[in-house]
Structure 1
Amino acid sequence: MRRATSVSVIVIIVVSSIAGALIWFTVIDPPGGNGGPGDPLYDEAPMLKVLVENGTLLPVEERLPTNPMLIQPVDEVGVYGGTWRLGASNVGGSLSNLVRVYVGYENLLRWDSTWSRVISGVAQSVEVNADASEYTFHLREGMKWSDGVNFTADDIMFWYEADLLNAELYSKWRNHFLMNDTPAIVEKIDNYTVKFSFPGPYGQFLFHLADTKSDEVTLRPKHYLSQFHPDYNPEGIDELVNESGQSDWVGLYKAKRNWLFNPDIPTLHAWTYQDAFDENSTYVIMERNPYYWKIDTDYNQLPYIDRVNITIYSSGAELLQAAIDGELDAQHKGFNIA
């Protein structure tokens, strides 16, 4: 379905300074469309339309945030459907590196496709105070995890309070969240606003936040992970540890928060794992996330591709041969073509 697109770009700024600015705030105009009353604003993949029609999935307008992230196609608007074939040489580092690169980059802010500037991401905008010591992030209202639960400031506060501040989970803070060896203070302003404060000016913070290693901020669904944390489930944590075979709650929690190998954890990614897998698996399947929060310029919910099939080969040589034989569609990780 094609319709006239109207997008209001409120501000795209910052040449030499970020202090005292409202940055990267793109607003999608309210539903209007070209049709008559009831004409839907957004389109969606045929496989999702079937689920909506049979009543097992909410309409796309109710699955997207009020301000979805707009993606400008490189050449033209895409077509729904198909499977992206990838390959890994083991269910370990090869698989995790592949999935992290092609699926996993959904930070509060991100680098654009040319890696020349930082743009909005999970956060639709950020305000910076005069000396760049406070950063206030505005989230996308109505944005959802892949299981349909709302993503809110509470999820970021859970990452901060239950995860980052816990000495049993982190013996040392990441440099990204330190200023002069002093940790950031993270505060919830409201359900869709959080503030990071530092003891002094931190002009590089947004660039560090867009780094792939800062994805942890948006990878801690409180409604799922809190059951594996003693501060949130003191009565039931021992039973869960015993059932898991882990030696303590730390091992259990770390295993459950590892989205690269735990298919049960909700994410904000375009595709999600469909089944459990282990070191003996010969393939891994990912399928589109019906709650993915990005659209193209024709208001089509992304992604275009239905599935990602990752075949696990026995060696790097076998993986390279698969690429030569045309068994992979588009991939630059995992093998050496020199």
Structure 2
Amino acid sequence: MTRSRIIVLVCILALLTGALACSSKGRTRGSTGVADPPFRGAVPEDAYVTDASVGSYGGTLVMAIPSNPKSFNPIVSVETSTAWVINNVVFKALTDYDNEQQKDIPGVAKSWEASPDGLEWTFHLRKGLLWSDGAPFTADDVMFTFQVMFDPNIAASARDLLIQSDKTLPVVEKVDDYTIRFRLKEPNALFVAALNNAFPLPKHKWEKAYKDGQFEQTLQLNSNPEDIVCLGPYCISEFVPDQRVVLVRNPYYWKVDQKGQRLPYIDKIIFLIVPTFDTMALKFGNGDTDMIHDINPDAVEMMKRGETSGNYTLYELPGFNTTYLVFNQDTGVDKKGRPYVDPVKLGWFRNKKFRQAISYAIDREGLVRTTLFGHGSPIYSFDPPANKLWYCDNAAKYPYDPGKALALLSEIGLNRNGSGQLVDSNGRAVEFNLTTNASRASRVNTGTLIKDDLAKIGIGVNFQPGDYNLIVDKLRRSRDFDAVIGSWQSGVPPDPIEAKNVLLPGSNDYYAFPNQKAPSTEWEKRFTDLISVCSSTIDMNLRRKSYCEAMEIWSEYLPEIDLIVANYAIAAKNNIGNVKPSSLANYTYWNIEELFFKK
């Protein structure tokens, strides 16, 4: 940790433990008991009743996000910065996801059922729902939304999740004003989850713009907030670039608590645009914000020490963000006919015993202590234990064992010479180049430790961190690398089919050997077949059985060497009720309509 970084953390600690932690900048911090702005209209006939603790009305919740949203259009937006503000906050989908239970739950559709073969899905919409402008929500809005989503001229981010193997899309039918039916050509294990990203839009508001070919120009950052009609608990009120996004209660929102009181409880939400974590932590300590998510591992202990004086609670959760090491096993050549990988190195990299030896030679516990400051765990397969449904404990384990590593290397003709250097039968030294993102200190530290660990068994590592975009180009296009340290973040839901672009040898992000026309090994073929079963049936027992068998193969053959997973740390002020922290987005506020200020 650098001296300047230590100084910053000391300053943050001073704020967290000092008087400024009680500053409220004049905002209404507690409950007023009155909804302002007030609700309008009657409680919907099919209102969603939450099981959260009953709260009270009033107050303004302030949080920080690192960058401006790029759009307020939920159909064409793909950036995380946009999703933080609008997904499940301003817009709600047919189906939803419970981060706490890690399962799909009803959204604006109150229920659904599938045919036994998984080819027909029927969704029943909630009756009595109104858009934020007071217009009724019906099946016509859903039909319009899918017309827009399925239009090839619209860059709809969620469409890819619904494309079938013949490149067609499901047929959508209106059964009646509150029933929609989808007809598929093949089962889609992620169909319900895909609809979590299908946010209905009001036909009465945007049909003309769509017919005029102007849909992608709608719902922009400079749009009149009154035009951003929605079904979520909050509506856009104001956007000031590089400063804030302000949301106010949707007066027609359709969820209620167990006493029949309408949600949301909190009157107003403010997202401050704060580019760095250190500044976010300072604002949290100064009382300018009420919640903070994604606390850096090196700041966790410091923030824990400030809990009492700062009147907040820090939550440290098992995480989903994993770090891995991947070797280039690509047998291809570049445009000049030169192999992507030196043939001798390629022989090492494609040998599973070499990869297993490297896995044994890396001290994962040491990585956790040093790069995550103890706030994480070793992992040996693609999914971390935080994934309640898909974590498989049958993976092969590789505890730190340099002796075991050397024994495996000896089996493939790699042994230490008199000076302790690992060499092949021709006396060639075993060494390779390693890179990672230079702007991520934890990755650089990981690379340094791996270099040191492998030096202990005689392997030379030329570690040179580099520019992130250049490394992405090496992985996806030029293929000019030996080994890379990278990381994965989970989607919502954390279903393996969401990660097919990473898992399958034919995909672009299978970095060991991407875009294979056919699996290059028998084990990759078997693995591909198992993932295909997992994605082509809605039988959950069969899906899990197939996936765990696939993960057993993954951990034996190690197309990537999974190393560590960081814990996920967030903090929230103690005067906020119904906080259900999650290591899945939206972390502190995925249940934003249930949050309230305690009296």
**TM-score normalized by the length of structure 2:** 0.39
Whether the aligned pair in 2 keeps the contact of 1:320 and 1:337 (CA below 8 Å) is: no
Give the secondary-structure state (helix, strand or coil) at the position aligned to 2:252.
Answer: coil
- Residue by residue, what CA displacement relative to the aligned partner does 1:198-247 show, whole Å, maximum 9, x if unpaired? 0133343223323xxx233x2x21111112123xxxxxx4xxxxxxxxxx
1:45 & 1:157 partners in 2: Cα distance?
Answer: 37
Task: Show the counterpart of 2:283.
Answer: 322
Distance 1:90 1:259, change over 3 A: closer
1:108 & 1:292 partners in 2: Cα distance?
Answer: 15
Whether the aligned pair in 2 keeps the contact of 1:272 and 1:287 (CA below 8 Å) is: yes
Which among 281, 284, 291 is matched to residue 245 of structure 2? 284
Task: Show the counterpart of 1:177.
Answer: 162
Distance 1:260 1:176, change over 3 A: farther
1:255 aligns with 2:217: yes
Which among 146, 165, 190 is matched to residue 204 of structure 1? 190
Whether the aligned pair in 1 keeps the contact of 2:150 and 2:159 (CA below 8 Å) is: no
Task: Show the counterpart of 1:274.
Answer: 237
1:9-24 mapped onto 2 (5 Å cutoff) = none
Distance 1:279 1:199, change over 3 A: same
1:105 & 1:203 partners in 2: Cα distance?
Answer: 24
1:134 aligns with 2:111: no
Post-superposition offset of 1:311: 2.5
Once structures 1 and 2 are overlaid, which stretch shifts more, 86-95 or 144-153?
A: 86-95
1:10-49 mapped onto 2 (5 Å cutoff) = 45-49=34-38
- Structure of greater relative contact order (alpha carbons < 8 Å, 6+ residues apart): 1
Runs of 5+ in structure 2 lacking a partner? 1-32, 71-79, 299-599
1:222 aligns with 2:203: yes
1:171 & 1:215 partners in 2: Cα distance?
Answer: 10
Q: Which has the larger radius of gyration?
A: 2
Question: Letter of the aligned partner of 1:85 in structure 2?
Answer: V
2:273 & 2:122 partners in 1: Cα distance?
Answer: 42
Larger helix fraction of residues:
2
Post-superposition offset of 1:257: 4.1
- Residue by residue, what CA displacement relative to the aligned partner does 1:19-67 show, whole Å, maximum 9, x if unpaired? xxxxxxxxxxxxxxxxxxxxxxxxx954355xxxxxxx744x2xx3211
1:90-169 mapped onto 2 (5 Å cutoff) = 90-92=67-69, 95-100=81-86, 103-104=89-90, 106-161=92-147, 163-169=148-154
2:160 & 2:81 partners in 1: Cα distance?
Answer: 27
Whether the aligned pair in 2 keeps the contact of 1:271 and 1:288 (CA below 8 Å) is: yes
Runs of 5+ in structure 1 lacking a partner? 1-43, 50-56, 231-236, 238-248
- Residue by residue, what CA displacement relative to the aligned partner does 1:108-163 show, whole Å, maximum 9, x if unpaired? 112224243211111001121121111111101111111111111111111122x1
1:259 & 1:119 partners in 2: Cα distance?
Answer: 30
- Residue by residue, what CA displacement relative to the aligned partner does 1:294-319 show, whole Å, maximum 9, x if unpaired? 00101110011011122234655433
Task: Show the counterpart of 1:69.
Answer: 48
Task: Show the counterpart of 2:266.
Answer: 305
1:47 & 1:131 partners in 2: Cα distance?
Answer: 49
Question: Letter of the aligned partner of 1:272 in structure 2?
Answer: C
Whether the aligned pair in 2 keeps the contact of 1:48 and 1:290 (CA below 8 Å) is: yes
Post-superposition offset of 1:336: 4.1
**TM-score normalized by the length of structure 1:** 0.67
1:76-87 mapped onto 2 (5 Å cutoff) = 76-87=53-64
Once structures 1 and 2 are overlaid, which stretch shifts more, 101-110 or 183-192?
A: 101-110
1:171 & 1:285 partners in 2: Cα distance?
Answer: 26
Distance 1:225 1:45, change over 3 A: farther
1:295 aligns with 2:256: yes
Count of paired positions: 255
1:255 & 1:173 partners in 2: Cα distance?
Answer: 18
Whether the aligned pair in 2 keeps the contact of 1:91 and 1:278 (CA below 8 Å) is: no
2:228 & 2:246 partners in 1: Cα distance?
Answer: 15
1:118 & 1:203 partners in 2: Cα distance?
Answer: 12
Post-superposition offset of 1:191: 0.9
Post-superposition offset of 1:88: 3.0
Cα-Cα RMSD: 2.9
Whether the aligned pair in 1 keeps the contact of 2:61 and 2:269 (CA below 8 Å) is: yes
Query: What percent identity do the matched residue pairs reach?
Result: 30
Whether the aligned pair in 1 keeps the contact of 2:124 and 2:179 (CA below 8 Å) is: yes
Distance 1:69 1:258, change over 3 A: farther
- Residue by residue, what CA displacement relative to the aligned partner does 1:147-199 show, whole Å, maximum 9, x if unpaired? 111111111111122x1232221489733212323310001111111111101
- Residue by residue, what CA displacement relative to the aligned partner does 1:68-122 show, whole Å, maximum 9, x if unpaired? 011111xx31011111011234323675243146725622112224243211111
Whether the aligned pair in 2 keeps the contact of 1:153 and 1:193 (CA below 8 Å) is: yes
Question: Letter of the aligned partner of 1:308 in structure 2?
Answer: I
Whether the aligned pair in 1 keeps the contact of 2:49 and 2:256 (CA below 8 Å) is: yes
- Residue by residue, what CA displacement relative to the aligned partner does 1:270-315 show, whole Å, maximum 9, x if unpaired? 111113x3535x2322111110000010111001101112223465
Question: Letter of the aligned partner of 2:177 in structure 1?
Answer: N
Give the secondary-structure state (helix, strand or coil) at the position aligned to 2:235.
Answer: strand
Distance 1:331 1:320, change over 3 A: closer
Give the secondary-structure state (helix, strand or coil) at the position aligned to 2:198.
Answer: helix
